[in-house]
A = this chain, B = another copy of it.
């Protein structure tokens, strides 16, 4: 699938059909994450693939009872495992690196006919407790994934003129 078309067509999917995701599709989605660039090529992140229904229900509760977190056949929990590495620009590397890897997954999932939703509204302590995530590891987001049961209208986006300036900040 063409990149710009995928970016245009992709939606946040919050309703899924009852159908398992084929392993080969999941593996290509994970491969898209694996090949993502990262600060100093450290790849200091971890993805936890959750398919177990009871665990997904626990994650749903940790995510403010967003029903689709339990409904999606797969929830991928994206973690930064080196949470204190600061790049020379002053930014922590892990939120950027995890975001790139997860973004790759959302695009490849779309190319596979799957839908995803970034979930960033959750209790990190609860998610860590559910999945046995060590204290020093940070959970950046949950990504739900499955076959979509909806194709929402595109969200409004700002015009380029609002988002871009030339030569100087404006």
A contact residues vs B (CB 8 Å cutoff): 1-4, 6-8, 10, 12, 27-28, 30-37, 39, 41, 43, 45-52, 55, 64, 79, 87-93, 95-100, 103-104, 106-108, 110-111, 118, 120-124, 131-134, 137-141, 155-158, 160, 162-169
Contact between chains at A167 and B55 (CB < 8 Å): yes
Contact between chains at B30 and A7 (CB < 8 Å): no
Contact between chains at A46 and B163 (CB < 8 Å): yes
CB A139 to nearest CB in B, in angstroms, measures 6
Q: Which residues of B contact A166 (CB under 8 A)?
A: 48-51
CB A136 to nearest CB in B, in angstroms, measures 12
CB A104 to nearest CB in B, in angstroms, measures 6
A43-B158 contact, Cβ under 8 Å, with A79-B169, A91-B120: yes
CB A133 to nearest CB in B, in angstroms, measures 4
CB A163 to nearest CB in B, in angstroms, measures 6
Could you say which of B34, B51, B52 contacts A160, with CB atoms under 8 Å apart? Answer: B34
User: Once bound together, how far apart are the Cα atoms of A8 and B90, in whole Å?
Assistant: 29
Q: Which residue of B lies closest to A5 (CB)?
A: B3
User: Once bound together, how far apart are the Cα atoms of A92 and B99, in whole Å?
Assistant: 12
User: Once bound together, how far apart are the Cα atoms of A145 and B144, in whole Å?
Assistant: 33
A164-B121 contact, Cβ under 8 Å, with A3-B108, A35-B8, A157-B35: no
